[in-house]
Amino acid sequence: MTTKTDNQQEQKAVVAPVNLDTFDWNAYENDLGVYNAPKEEIEAKYDQTLSKVQVGEVVEGTVISLNKREVVVNIGYKSEGIIPVSEFRYNPELAVGEKVEVYVESAEDKKGQLVLSHKKARQLRSWDRVNEALEKDEVIKGYIKCRTKGGMIVDVFGIEAFLPGSQIDVKPIRDYDIYVDKTMEFKVVKINQEFRNVVVSHKALIEAELEAQKKEIMSKLEKGQILEGTVKNITSYGVFIDLGGVDGLIHITDLSWGRVNHPEEIVQLDQKLNVVILDFDDAKKRIALGLKQLSAHPWDALDANLKVGDKVKGRVVVMADYGAFVEIAPGVEGLIHVSEMSWSQHLRSAQEFMKVGDEVEAVVLTLDRDERKMSLGLKQLTPDPWADIETKYAVGSRHTAKVRNFTNFGVFVEIEEGIDGLIHISDLSWTKKVKHPSEFTQIGADIEVVVLEIDKDNRRLSLGHKQLEENPWNAFEQQFAVDSIHTGTITELNDKGAVVSLGDNVEGFAPAKQLAKEDGTTAKAGETLEFKVVEFSKATKRIILSHSRLNEEIKRAEVQAERAEKKRSDDATKDSVKKLNASVEKTTLGDISGLAELKAQMEAAAEKPKKAAAKKSAKAEEASAETEE
């Protein structure tokens, strides 16, 4: 391309030197031989030295000067074009002599100035350039204009491309703003032709280089090797360390010998650390690192004189339902099982006794230095309540206990903290048949008990409630003798029979077949009837009752009474007939008439019992018919 300097040299070869002080302007204006050639020829040759430019054309120019505001570009035209420096913001390294593409907006403005635009030139060819960069995997430059959601907006050939945050660098970016107004190299990684969306990546440029670095670093790794690294990222499960091109992970359990709730308690971002290689996988490019391994294990520094039975102090670091872990020295922990927190035998959660951060004192129960395990006890700091159980709760002594739990076979009660006992269901009441303890008492209630038996080895107390009173069955033997009759109320009814309350918490049982009433119906729950004792057992505390048997005995008594009455009537009739026969011979006509009257009376008397029996039978049949209906 012809420059302005070349044009001037060519003009010097054609035009003779001129002295402006003596120059004949008249001759020049009238072409009176001022030049050594005709004026038209001179003008034609001058025009040949200038570029032919067309408005709307993209041409290449040369930067001849630049400052903070403008860039002057020569495209070989009679005047240079001036372009705002902001159009070259994507290329801060622009220098004089550099070739740039420009768009001719106007060959001459009002001031006679050539008007150029570098921005429009880039835009006209930008889409082709972007597609070409993707096809050829070309490295291009772009200017980061601003932040956006999830990444940055980059000016590439005048097109706004998207740079995802994950594609800025191989390490996580914490401050996106430091990249704004920077020019960086990128690769085009994705283009949406329909929507003309472009995605670029800076990370892709350095991944290949990093991959080579990783291979070199991995080839030199050895287990146990100590390296210096920088904390790259912190997660809840560990810390990622940059070892100079390859990352390794320190798992949270390998940060410290003590408990670590979160790695941030131990390390900080960008902190430099010495780490030891625990393991690595060439195929997966994974490196396991350790930090705590660089210091001695705290168990090795544990007091050599510490033994079982000693008291220690520590801080609760972890809570679980089954117990609490107490740190007695950095990295040295012991477990207090929930069963060792209280002498009480009730199942309770460890959270009821302590919480994380509590300072506690405990007794060493077991100590295994080889396995680095220790168990501690809290209840051992107080006297064992079972130590003097025979004296404090002697057999036969009475106490007040609190109901703690029910089972089908009895009630568990607590006399004091750590002293529990069982009241068997059979020892709740002398008279009442208790099917479940909940019928007799309730959880949390106080109940009077008597100590029946002590099993110190197994820490068991057998207790009783009914033993607070004398056994009433000794008196019941006379009161509820067999064949005695009592008034009772049916409290419960089932297929086998009925439970009958006889008063004073005394209950009897009437079999189903013994519940038939006089009218043929069966007694119902809630009815109060007369019952006869048919069986009494003091040993099994059982009273068997019958209501039907009372009805049967009444009927039997009525039948016997009828038979007796009939017999008396028959005997009287026979006596009268004998007397009549004896006096027949002495009887007169008038006497005969009297005898006839006497006979009629006797026959009527004989018929009267028969009519009463027939009437009673008719009433029974009528009642039976009503029952069936």
Give Cα 516 to chain centroid, integer Å: 62
- Maximum average pLDDT range among 85-94, 396-405, 549-558, 567-576: 396-405
User: What pLDDT score does 16 carry?
Assistant: 54
More confident site: 471 or 12? 471
Give the residue-averaged pLDDT of 404-418. 86
User: What pLDDT score does 525 carry?
Assistant: 84
Q: Is residue 229 domain-shared with residue 199, that is, in the same domain?
A: no
More confident site: 408 or 572? 408
Give the residue-averaged pLDDT of 594-614. 63
User: What pLDDT score does 475 carry?
Assistant: 65
- Domain termination residue (choose one: 294, 320, 346): 294
Judged against a pLDDT cut of 60, whether residue 573 lies above it is answered with yes
Q: Is residue 485 domain-shared with residue 463, that is, in the same domain?
A: no
Whether residue 132 is contained in a domain is answered as: no
Q: Among 219, 231, 222, which residue's Cα sits nearest to residue 263? A: 231
More confident site: 16 or 207? 207
Residue pair 179/135 in contact (Cβ under 8 Å)? The answer is: no
More confident site: 183 or 245? 183
More confident site: 523 or 617? 523
Note the pLDDT tens digit of each residue in 481-500.
777 888 888 888 888 888 88
Mean pLDDT over each residue of the chain, to the nearest integer: 79
Q: Is residue 323 domain-shared with residue 283, that is, in the same domain?
A: no
**In the structure, what pLDDT confidence band is assigned to residue 613 with cuts at 50, 70 and 90?**
low
Judged against a pLDDT cut of 60, whether residue 32 lies above it is answered with no
Q: Is residue 9 domain-shared with residue 75, that is, in the same domain?
A: yes
Lowest mean pLDDT among 13-22, 276-285, 364-373, 565-574: 13-22
Lowest mean pLDDT among 15-24, 429-438, 619-628: 619-628
Whether residue 102 is contained in a domain is answered as: yes
User: What pLDDT score does 26 carry?
Assistant: 65
- Domain termination residue (choose one: 206, 231, 256): 206
SS3 for 237-249 is CEEEEECCCCEEE
Judged against a pLDDT cut of 90, whether residue 251 lies above it is answered with yes
Q: What is the rounded distance in angstroms from the CA atom of residue 286 to the CA atom of residue 279?
A: 8
Judged against a pLDDT cut of 70, whether residue 628 lies above it is answered with no
Note the pLDDT tens digit of each residue in 282-322.
766 788 999 988 888 888 878 888 899 899 999 998 888 88
Please report which helix (H) or strand (E) contains residue 334, including its range. Answer: strand 332-337
User: What pLDDT score does 9 carry?
Assistant: 43
Whether residue 20 is contained in a domain is answered as: yes
Which strands, in side-by-side order, build the sheet including 115-117? 81-84, 70-74, 58-66, 99-106, 115-117
User: What pLDDT score does 335 carry?
Assistant: 93
Between CA 58 and CA 66, with CA 61 as vertex, the angle to 5 degrees is 125
User: What pLDDT score does 12 carry?
Assistant: 42
Whether residue 127 is contained in a domain is answered as: no
Q: Is residue 11 domain-shared with residue 52, that is, in the same domain?
A: yes
Note the pLDDT tens digit of each residue in 125-142.
778 888 888 888 888 888
DSSP helix/strand/coil, 460: strand
What would you report as the CA-atom Rg of the chain, rounded to the nearest whole angstrom?
60
Q: What is the rounded distance in angstroms from the CA atom of residue 191 to the CA atom of residue 188?
A: 8
Whether residue 215 is contained in a domain is answered as: no
Please report which helix (H) or strand (E) contains residue 392, including its range. Answer: helix 389-392
Q: Is residue 102 domain-shared with residue 20, that is, in the same domain?
A: yes
More confident site: 10 or 407? 407
We report the CATH number of the domain holding residue 275 as 2.40.50.140
User: What pLDDT score does 627 carry?
Assistant: 38
Q: Is residue 108 domain-shared with residue 151, that is, in the same domain?
A: no
Q: Is residue 55 domain-shared with residue 99, that is, in the same domain?
A: yes
User: What pLDDT score does 618 carry?
Assistant: 54
User: What pLDDT score does 272 carry?
Assistant: 92
What percent of the chain is predicted at pLDDT more than 70?
79
Q: Is residue 349 domain-shared with residue 455, that is, in the same domain?
A: no
Q: Is residue 412 domain-shared with residue 443, that is, in the same domain?
A: yes
Judged against a pLDDT cut of 50, whether residue 182 lies above it is answered with yes
Q: Is residue 526 domain-shared with residue 511, that is, in the same domain?
A: yes
The CA-to-CA distance between both ends of the chain, in Å, stands at: 132
User: What pLDDT score does 374 carry?
Assistant: 92
DSSP helix/strand/coil, 371: coil
**8-state DSSP, 114:** B
SS3 for 45-56 is HHHHCCCCCCCC
Give the residue-averaged pLDDT of 199-205. 88
Q: What is the rounded distance in angstroms from the CA atom of residue 100 to the CA atom of residue 550?
A: 130
Going from the C-alpha of 455 to that of each of 339, 354, 427, the distances in angstroms are: 20, 32, 18
Going from the C-alpha of 390 to that of each of 400, 453, 470, the distances in angstroms are: 17, 10, 24
Q: Is residue 104 domain-shared with residue 10, that is, in the same domain?
A: yes
Whether residue 376 is contained in a domain is answered as: yes
Lowest mean pLDDT among 146-150, 279-283, 483-487: 279-283
Q: How many domains would you assign to the chain?
A: 7
- Domain termination residue (choose one: 337, 357, 381): 381
Residue pair 186/200 in contact (Cβ under 8 Å)? The answer is: yes
Give the strand pairing for 226-234 and 197-201.
unpaired
Whether residue 553 is contained in a domain is answered as: no
Whether residue 71 is contained in a domain is answered as: yes
Going from the C-alpha of 54 to that of each of 51, 103, 107, 389, 540, the distances in angstroms are: 10, 10, 7, 117, 128
| Domain assignment of residue 603, given as a range | 564-628
Judged against a pLDDT cut of 80, whether residue 414 lies above it is answered with yes
